[in-house]
Chains A and B, each alone.
Chain A
Amino acid sequence: MKKKPNKKKIHNCSECKKSCSRRGYAYKASKGLSESIVCQISEEKGEQAWMLEYRLKALRAFEAKKMQSWGPDLSELNLDELCFYLKAWGKQESCWQDIPENIREPFEKENIQNIEQESLGGLGAQYESEVVYHNLKKEWEDLGVIFCDTDTALKKYPELFKEYFGTVVPYDDNKFASLNSAVWSGGSFIYVPKGVNIKVPLQTYYKMDSDKLGQFERTLIIADENSSVSYIEGCTAQSYSDKSLHSAVVEIIAKKGAKVKYYTIQNWSKNVYNLVTKRAHAYQDSLIEWVDCNVGSGVTMKYPAVVLKEKGAKTTVWSLSVASCENQVQDTGAKAIHLAENTTSKIVSKSISSNGGRASYRGFIKVAKNAKNSKSFVQCDGLMLDGKSRSDAYPYMDVAQREVDIGHEARVSKIVDEQIFYLMSRGLSHEDAQSLIINGFIQPFLKELPAEYALEVDRLLSMGMKG
Chain B
Amino acid sequence: MKKNFTFTLVASSDKLSLKKLIANRLSGAAVLEDLSIQIILVEDVCVSLVDDLLDYDICNSKIEVVLNKASSINYQVKISENKDNINFEQTCKTSERVLSFYDKQKTMSKELNFKFIGQHSSAHVTCSVKGTNDRIIKIKTIQDHQASFTTSDLIVKSAMCQKSRLICDNLIRVPESLEKIQATQLNKNLLLGCDSRVITVPKLEIESDDVDCKHGAAVSQLDEEQIFFLQSRGLDYCQAKNMLIEAFLN
Contacts and interface: CB of A to CB of B under 8 A. Distances in A.
Given A399-B191, A412-B214, A387 B208 contact: yes
A412 B219 contact: no
A410 B199 contact: no
Interface in B203-221: 203-221
Interface string A377-404: 0000010111111111111111111111
A142 to B, nearest CB: 49
A408 B206 contact: no
B198 A399 contact: yes
Given A392-B204, A397-B200, A410-B202, A402 B192 contact: yes
A406 interface: yes
A395 B217 contact: yes
A402 B194 contact: yes
A391 B173 CA distance: 11
A367 B212 CA distance: 30
B221 A393 contact: no
Contacts of B242: none
Contact of B216 (A401, A408, A414): A408
Interface residues of B, number: 34
Contacts of B189: 399
A384 B177 CA distance: 13
A382 B210 contact: no
A118 interface: no
A210 to B, nearest CB: 36
Contact of A386 (B199, B200, B209, B218): B209
Given A387-B176, A404-B220, A414 B214 contact: no
B201 interface: yes
B201 A395 contact: yes
Given A399-B219, A404-B219, A406-B218, A411 B208 contact: no
A384 B199 contact: no
B219 A406 contact: yes
Given A406-B219, A409-B215, A389 B209 contact: yes
A413 B212 contact: yes
A407 interface: yes
B220 A412 contact: no
Of listed A387, A392, A394, A396, residue having the most chain B CB within 10 A:
A387
Interface in A411-456: 411-414
Interface in A329-378: 367, 369
A402 B210 CA distance: 38
B35 to A, nearest CB: 28
B213 A387 contact: no
A72 to B, nearest CB: 14
Contact of B213 (A367, A390, A394, A411): A411
Nearest to A409: B216
B68 interface: no
A405 interface: yes
The secondary-structure label for the interface of chain B is: strand
Contacts of B177: 387
B221 A408 contact: no
Contacts of B199: 396-399
A275 B112 CA distance: 35
Interface size class of A (residues with CB under 8 A): 20 to 34
A91 B216 CA distance: 53
B206 A390 contact: yes
B183 to A, nearest CB: 9
Contact of A392 (B193, B206, B214, B216): B206
B203 A385 contact: no
A139 B197 CA distance: 51
Given A384-B209, A392-B206, A408-B202, A402 B215 contact: no
A211 B177 CA distance: 37
Contacts of B214: 409-413
A382 B204 CA distance: 10
B196 interface: yes
Given A397-B219, A403-B221, A408-B217, A414 B200 contact: no
A388 B176 contact: yes
A413 to B, nearest CB: 5
Nearest to A390: B207
Contacts of A411: 212-215
Contacts of A407: 216-219
Of listed A398, A399, A402, residue having the most chain B CB within 10 A:
A402
Interface in A50-100: none
Contacts of A414: 209-211
A296 B112 CA distance: 39
Interface string B128-171: 00000000000000000000000000000000000000000000
B191 A385 contact: no
Contact of B220 (A389, A393, A405): A405
Closest 9 CB pairs of A and B: A402-B191, A406-B219, A384-B209, A411-B214, A408-B217, A393-B204, A414-B209, A409-B216, A400-B197
22 contacts: A369-B195, A386-B209, A387-B176, A387-B207, A389-B209, A391-B204, A392-B203, A392-B205, A393-B203, A396-B200, A399-B197, A400-B197, A402-B196, A404-B191, A404-B219, A405-B219, A405-B220, A406-B220, A408-B200, A412-B211, A414-B209, A414-B211
Given A386-B209, A393-B215, 13 more contacts: A382-B204, A385-B209, A391-B204, A401-B191, A404-B219, A406-B220, A407-B217, A407-B218, A409-B216, A410-B204, A410-B216, A411-B212, A412-B214
